[in-house]
Amino acid sequence: MSSYEGFDFAGLDPAVEVERAVSELRHGRPVLLAEGERRLAVLSLDCVAPGVYEQFARATGDEHRLLLTAPRAARLGVKHVGDVSVPLKGMSFDAASRLSYALGAEAPSVWQPADPLASLSTELARLALLLPAMIHSDVTVRASRFAACAVLDATRLSQSTPARQRFEIVVRTPVPLTGLGMAEFVVFRGGLSQKDQVAIIVGEPDYSRPVPIRIHSSCITGDLCGSLKCDCGDQLRNGLKRLKRAGGGVLLYLDQEGRGTGIGAKMRAYGYQHRGLDTIDADAELGLAEDHRRYESAIAMLQLLGIDSVAVYTNNPTKIAALRAGGILVDAREAVTGRVTAENANYLRTKTIRAGHMLDLAELKAVI
């Protein structure tokens, strides 16, 4: 049963419209972004079938372009600060794919600063967990060729912001955990294009004092399979143990695989890391920014649990800033570490030097 009563059958909620557009992109179909009378057809190169790519080219009269985000453009050596767009006329699906995300691709010889509406479409790619390689075309004068496609007014994206914070508790159930006794799993539903998320309560937290918490982003490779490439699995298990030792606390397990980029992008990035790139440059090759995570869900989950003051276990200053921006009092911060190994030392070092994580560089140097 849901307590959410906001859905009006006769008039669409902006968040519903955005989620429908996201679903269309994930199914490899174009979406029309509307700005007044203007119509920009957008399609994600990450999941479109080659035949649909050709169909899109024909329907736009070969006036289709490819958006390269600022990080991708910089990796290709394009001398411009910001997103750019490249004409695709005559370019095959494979050539467009190489230009979007292949390692060692040549810089485009012709480009122009991107249309702001095309740049805005990357937010849909982000919600869809697709690479931000958006094929696009202004089809205002030939919109009838796209009459069956979903239309999304650009203003809906900003209007759907409140939905990012709209969560509710679905169920609370005890689960016995090895070495931790009986924990309670609390399942939350809501947000914008998000799966259900979980808070794990261990021990008996004292809610009258700052509650020990860990905000943990999902990592299939590390949490589940013990990958040596990161420290996530150790951080998850050490974090739970520490919360228990503190008398009780809460671990928020957030649906943010690959720093919010999804497992597909993360595995592509791992491929580039095997060829020598660090974690941030590998993501940039795919057009992705350093970190795509947002923390509205964490704030909403804490609020629903009645927690407004915390002691947080993290090395990531962005998490602390997000908690504070969301109105949560951060009373204390403690480091949470995993094993430093030959395989993950460079990853940890990059997080420290390039992403400002609070880790001990001397310890990392000893391993490298």
Ligand X SMILES: Nc1nc2c(ncn2[C@@H]2O[C@H](COP(=O)(O)OP(=O)(O)OP(=O)(O)O)[C@@H](O)[C@H]2O)c(=O)[nH]1
Please, are residues 283 and 132 in contact by the beta-carbon 8 Å criterion? no
261 assigned ligand-binding residue: no
184 assigned ligand-binding residue: no
The answer to whether 258 contacts ligand X (rule: CB under 6 A) is yes
257 assigned ligand-binding residue: yes
Q: Is 293 a catalytic residue?
A: yes
Closest alpha carbon to 230 in 315, 359, 346, 353: 346
235 assigned ligand-binding residue: yes
Residue 161 has φ and ψ, to the nearest 5°, of: -55, -45
User: Hey, how many other C-beta atoms are within 10 angstroms of the C-beta on 105?
Assistant: 16
Looking at beta carbons only, is 84 or 288 nearer to ligand X?
288
- Work out which of 19, 257, 285, 296 binds ligand X, going by CB under 6 A: 257
| x/- track of binding to ligand X for residues 211-240 (CB under 6 A) | -----xxxx----------x-x--x-----
CB of 91 to ligand X, least distance (A): 28
149 assigned ligand-binding residue: no
- Of the listed pieces 43-51, 160-168, 198-206, 312-320, which binds ligand X according to CB under 6 A? 312-320
Which of positions 166-205 make contact with ligand X (CB under 6 A)? none
Looking at beta carbons only, is 28 or 264 nearer to Zn ion?
264
Please, are residues 308 and 331 in contact by the beta-carbon 8 Å criterion? no
363 assigned ligand-binding residue: no
The answer to whether 119 contacts ligand X (rule: CB under 6 A) is no
The answer to whether 75 contacts ligand X (rule: CB under 6 A) is no
CA distance linking residue 135 with residue 40, whole number of Å? 10
Helix ranges restricted to H, the chain: 14-26, 50-59, 70-76, 93-101, 116-128, 155-159, 225, 232-245, 257-260, 263-273, 279-285, 296-304, 317-325, 345-355, 361-367
Looking at beta carbons only, is 108 or 191 nearer to ligand X?
191
Catalytic residue among 291, 294, 331, 333: 291
279 assigned ligand-binding residue: yes
Please, are residues 349 and 368 in contact by the beta-carbon 8 Å criterion? yes
Catalytic residue among 26, 75, 164, 293: 293
Fill in the amino acid letter for 249: G
Which of positions 317-356 make contact with ligand X (CB under 6 A)? 319
CA distance linking residue 346 with residue 361, whole number of Å? 11
- Work out which of 76, 88, 96, 269 binds ligand X, going by CB under 6 A: 269
Please, are residues 40 and 117 in contact by the beta-carbon 8 Å criterion? yes
Q: Is 291 a catalytic residue?
A: yes
Please, are residues 123 and 49 in contact by the beta-carbon 8 Å criterion? no
Looking at beta carbons only, is 194 or 235 nearer to Zn ion?
235
Which of positions 202-261 make contact with Zn ion (CB under 5 A)? 219, 222, 230, 232
CB of 295 to Zn ion, least distance (A): 18
214 assigned ligand-binding residue: yes
For the residues of 300-351, what is the DSSP string, one character each? HHHHHTT--EEEEE-S-HHHHHHHHHTT-EEEEEE-------TTTHHHHHHH
Please, are residues 249 and 203 in contact by the beta-carbon 8 Å criterion? yes
CB of 26 to ligand X, least distance (A): 19
Fill in the amino acid letter for 293: R
- The count of chain residues that interact with ligand X, using the rule CB under 6 A, is 21
Please, are residues 126 and 256 in contact by the beta-carbon 8 Å criterion? no
Looking at beta carbons only, is 44 or 273 nearer to Zn ion?
273
DSSP helix/strand/coil, 102: coil
Residues lying near ligand X in the complex (CB under 6 A) are found at: 216-219, 230, 232, 235, 256-259, 261, 266, 269, 279, 283, 314-316, 319, 357
Q: Which residues bind Zn ion (CB under 5 A)?
A: 219, 222, 230, 232
Binding residues for GTP: 214-218, 235, 257-259, 279, 314, 319
Mark the binding-site residues for Zn(2+), compressed into ranges: 219, 230, 232
Q: Which residues are catalytic?
A: 291, 293
